[in-house]
Amino acid sequence: MARISFFLRAITLSIGLCHSAEAQLCRLALVLALDVSGSVNPTEYAQQIDGLATALNHPDVRSLILFSADAPVSFAAFEWSSRNHQYIIQPWISLDGPGALDAAIARIGSHGRVRAGLKTAMGTALLFGASMLEQRAHCWQRTIDLSGDGKNNIGLSPADAYRHPIFDELTVNALVVTDPANTGQDGTSLSPEALRQYYQDEVIHGPRAFAMVADGYPDYASAMQRKLMRELALPVFGQIDD
């Protein structure tokens, strides 16, 4: 616990954490965490970035985001890989009108990959996202939305991270990017079913958390659209969807 607390203090300094005194209502604080580890090649990275921008711009998603300007969605996004790589793509922005949403979509769509490590430090990424959500403590719901195509393989595990009380009131949902070509029989890769089960058992967090599956990065935009609609609409309970 001491190690995690020290790490959170370091993150707090690095992203300029402060408790918000804003009076504006906020129905949901949503931070997206995008996997850019060594398993994600340049084409897949572009499909992920373009897919997120496309999903945010889908008419149904836009309608849900812009449903209430009086209690808007607060949105941020960052990419992550190894323990020393978390890069904020979109700082917190209140999506309180079409202009704000268009600005976020344009910023994400124009983002180019930042030099990243090869490892998958999932627990570290979750702690980084949780520290960002501390800036939005006034929001009614606070959610980390983590995308990934593999298991944690360095540093703190998700279970290690979740021992910290900072996660007590947070939800962690997941977008699992599977590779249909992986059979898992050679011992070097997880089959799609095994990867789905890992995220279901080890990664999602909270009573209403869920994981959704993208069948490879070409399916990322469609899967992200479905997931955003679920997060922005009715309460959900922990399960995994095909």
Digit-coded pLDDT (tens) for 81-102:
988 899 999 999 999 999 999 9
What is the model's pTM? 0.84
pLDDT on residue 1: 58
pLDDT average, residue stretch 200-220 = 95
Phi-psi region of 160 (alpha: psi -120 to 50; beta: other; left: phi over 0): alpha
Output the pLDDT for position 70. Answer: 87
Helices 42-56, 220-232: crossing angle, 10 deg rounding: 40
pLDDT bracket for residue 118 (50, 70, 90):
confident
Task: Return d(Cα 56, Cα 30) in angstroms, integer.
Answer: 12
Distances (CA, A) of 162 to 4, 14, 103, 159, 206: 10, 21, 33, 5, 10
pLDDT tens-digit profile of 9-21? 444 444 444 443 3
Residue 183's pLDDT band (cuts 50, 70, 90): low
Greatest CA separation for the chain: 55
Residues 6+ apart with CB under 8 A from 181: none
Average pLDDT, integer, range 125-130: 97
pLDDT tens sequence across 22-81: 447 899 999 999 999 988 999 999 999 999 999 999 999 999 999 888 899 999 999 999
